[in-house]
Structure 1
Amino acid sequence: MNVLFLTLSIMENINERGIYTDLVKELARRGINMHVVFPRERRTGLPTELTINENIKFLKVKTGNITETNFMEKGISTLKIESQYLKAVKRYFTGVRFDLILYSTPPITFEKVVKYFKKEHNSKTYLVLKDIFPQNAVDISILKNGSLIWRYFRLKEKNLYKVSDIIGCMSQGNINYVLNHNPFIERSKVEIFPNSIKPVERVAGTNLNNVLYEKYNLPIDSTLFVYGGNLGKPQGIDFLLNIVDHFHEVNNGHLLIVGSGTEYEKIRNHLDTVKPQNVSLYKKMPKSEYDQLLELADVGLIFLDNRFTIPNFPSRLTAYMEYSLPVLAATDKNTDFKDILKESRSGLWSESGDLKAFIDNAKILSNDKRLRNQMGMNGREYLEEHYDIRKTVNIIIKHL
């Protein structure tokens, strides 16, 4: 059985853990021949290339820059990607007939690729919906509702939904939003396919890696709050900077920010100006080293801009749950992610922009180790029950 997986996620190292690498490996473990297509951005200087690892083939397609670039370049590169992918797949996977086309958003511009194989191979098509675009861009004022470019991307979004046999959403809130705003979609073709990973063995939380403490200049006796991930407009960076300015109010707390994105330099410049004593910022680091930092951490942080009307569901939640970290979140009020925190009893939530509520929650977690440990254990148990890819992959396999 052959599956074609189209993604923007960089998968140069299949051994790195994550929601897409773990999905691909689990499908391959079930005996499925996986054909993974992902971009090699122009900045790498590398050509299109096909590599093979057992029953997984990786087609790395040379594209324009899509990440960590300006909106214009990202937009042009995104528009070109479906023709670049289709050309590469036809060339490198000649003679392969695909039973399933699996594709994730972003981007929403895979329609032509999906439609081609649906027609020529009679393939089943499955959309893994991780991003509701262009509305998310409208929410944070990147696109103007009703503009020409908005109408173009909205049409592409609708066409992608129409060509998809099944749409896998991250949560019930996502399902409700998609159906309410796209009444042409049949309810029967939408289901929950959550962010999932293959969890590592349970970590005791007693890692005292002095090398990392020294390397990142972290105080051993402080409560370590870690944010790891994208540093862009969706995270509501102005509110994060407000937190930076007031984090000294959290007794014995240290804030560690690890990531990259369009707003990284803005954060760096702010820290250089304010020079807070209990806040650190580092560029994105190797996944293995970041995982070691999570073993040292006490609390995992999640931020989303409070203007979002779409129910985003942050993928980094699974990483925090995996390492039994309680979650401290500040997001928009529309996401049902906050309901999962409440249901799992794995963290504290406040609306993004409410500084007092956030600092108060940080103080609670900083001062109560027993509460942190209990919430961390609750999160780990919830992950094993609901977000283990060895279980959730069956949601996709049942359609084959």
Structure 2
Amino acid sequence: MKLALIIDDYLPNSTRVGAKMFHELAVELVTHGHQVTVITPDPTIAQRLICDELDGVNIWRFRSGPIKDVNKILRAVNETLLSCRAWLAIKDNVQPSTFDGIIYYSPSIFWGRLVYHLKRRCSCKAYLVLRDLFPQWVIDAGLLRAGTLFEKYFRLFERYSYKQADSIGLMSEKNLQVFKEQHGHYPGEVLRNWASISAVGHPDDNYVSIREKLGLQDKVIYFYGGNIGHAQDMANLMRLARNMQHHVSAHFLFVGQGDEVELINKLAKEWGLTNFSYLPSVNQSEFKCILNEIDVGLFSLSAQHTAHNFPGKLLGYMVHSLPILGSVNRGNDLLEIINVNKAGFIHVNGEDDALLQSAERLCLEKDLRQCLGRNAQELLKQQFSVCAAAQTIETQLEAKNAFN
């Protein structure tokens, strides 16, 4: 099949997990014999459209305003214009035979109109990879009030995006259940997050060991990498760092960007944390190399979530055979998946004492860290492989196309 993949952020310049996951999916689809074209915005280009290639994947980059790490109003305006700008840039390149299927990724919720145009011109079907129930999570977090004009505006685009999908893949059974309760008439299924088992980083000559750079040679490093925002409730992990200060061998390293970077640095200063370091985002190659050096993979989800997300960063931890330590909202089936498979320790957000006890065990028991890490990689192979994700999407698109 000739496939169009649509996402609002992509490699090689992106540091985000979603961009990495989508590229791994694109490369996997190429190995299955498909011709893949990624359509993605690029705020750095002057031309309306630039076409290039990466790892056998064709990439159409269209000119766009910035949508990452900018104020919320500017982001909303530029995201609203994504479909319009994309279609104006690519429409002359799209013929009726250009694409046989569309795979689009949410976030963003604003791809609906572009998918509509592509489906109409190419008479093909579309699969939505739905990773983020927006705007519901910002309502849960208290950042947006239900019933306001802003909520209605976002809901309009959310529903329109869902309407274009012939199949919608959600990351867990609980997420699918929540989705069906809220949007029951849309066709949904479980599509777990994925990673390539071959994604382990190998240092080049220019890479400087993170342990040497930060003086952490003898430390047990608890690492958080990725978006540092409201949805993650970063204060939860900062409390853990504070509670672990009496373990002199433990150090917490956060790498990433987001709305709560200022908060974590403020708390570290207020609490006088000597076991904490923050670094801004690094490129994917360096990120993988850092994962080779750390001991424990951290994550956190806000207790206020009603959706049940599986953070993509966990897959990077699994690839590198790292034990997982974190907190989730109550009812999240991620807790059972990780704990039952002995891939780490997951607790309900707010259970600070239990989280601390697990962190202490991981600090003091090297054999336990290694055992849980091996189990994490095995879990990845069994349930979260990129091959399985590609096959799930292929099955849906091929079945839909059979009825064209």
Same fold (TM over 0.5): yes
SS at match of 1:83: helix
- CA–CA separation in structure 1 for the residues paired with 2:54 and 2:317: 29
Pick one of 285, 290, 295 that aligns with 2:292.
Answer: 295
Tell me, in whole angstroms, the C-alpha distance in 1 between the residues paired with 2:258 and 2:294. 22
Which of 29, 35, 38 does residue 36 from structure 1 map onto?
38
User: 1:263–1:381: structure 2 CA closer, same or farther, 3 Å change rule?
Assistant: same
2:110 aligns to what? 109
Counterpart residue number, 1:206? none
2:312 to 289, 310, 315: 315
Query: How far apart in 1 are the matches of 2:56 and 2:282?
Result: 29
The residue aligned with 2:78 is: 77
Unaligned runs of 5+ in 2: 202-206, 399-404
In 1, Cα distance between equivalents of 2:141 and 2:247: 29
TM-score (norm 1): 0.91
Query: Is the counterpart of residue 370 in structure 1 residue 371 in structure 2?
Result: no
How many residues matched?
390
Secondary structure at the counterpart of residue 18 of structure 1: helix
Aligned counterpart, 2:132: 131
**CA distance in 2 between partners of 1:275 and 1:214 (Å):** 23
SS at match of 1:288: helix
**Alpha-carbon distance in structure 2 between the residues aligned to 1:333 and 1:55:** 42
**Contact 1:138–1:144 (Cα < 8 Å) also in 2:** yes
User: 1:238 Cα shift?
Assistant: 2.6
Q: CA deviation at 1:363?
A: 0.6
Alignment partner of 2:214 out of 201, 213, 216: 216
Structure-1 residue corresponding to 2:333? 336
User: Matches of 1:250 and 1:92 in 2, distance apart?
Assistant: 59
Q: Which residue of 1 aligns with 2:11?
A: 11
Equivalent residue for 2:386?
389
One-letter amino acid of the counterpart of residue 18, structure 1: K
Give the alignment of 1:238-257 within 5 angstroms.
238-250=235-247, 252-257=249-254
Q: CA RMSD in A?
A: 2.4
2:188 counterpart residue number: 190
AA in 2 matched with 1:74: R
- 1:386 and 1:277 map into 2 onto residues whose CA distance is 38
Normalised TM-score (structure 2): 0.90
Q: Which consecutive unaligned segments of at least 5 residues does structure 1 have? A: 204-208
In the alignment, is the contact (CA less than 8 A) between 1:300 and 1:327 conserved in 2? yes
Of 97-106 and 151-160, more deviation after overlay is shown by 151-160
**Distance in 1 (alpha carbons) for counterparts of 2:27 and 2:14:** 8
Percent identical pairs in the alignment equals: 27
Measured after TM superposition, the shift of residue 59 of structure 1 is: 1.1
What residue in structure 2 maps to residue 145 of structure 1?
146
Q: Which amino acid aligns with 1:364?
A: R
Q: 1:201 to 1:181 in 2, by over 3 A?
A: closer
Secondary structure of the residue aligned to 2:99 is coil
CA separation of 1:14/1:305 partners in 2, compared to 1, >3 Å: closer, same or farther?
closer
Q: Distance in 1 between matches of 2:343 and 2:221?
A: 17
Counterpart of 2:316, as a letter, is A
Change (3 A) 1:148 1:163: same
Instruction: Give 1:365's aligned amino acid.
Output: L
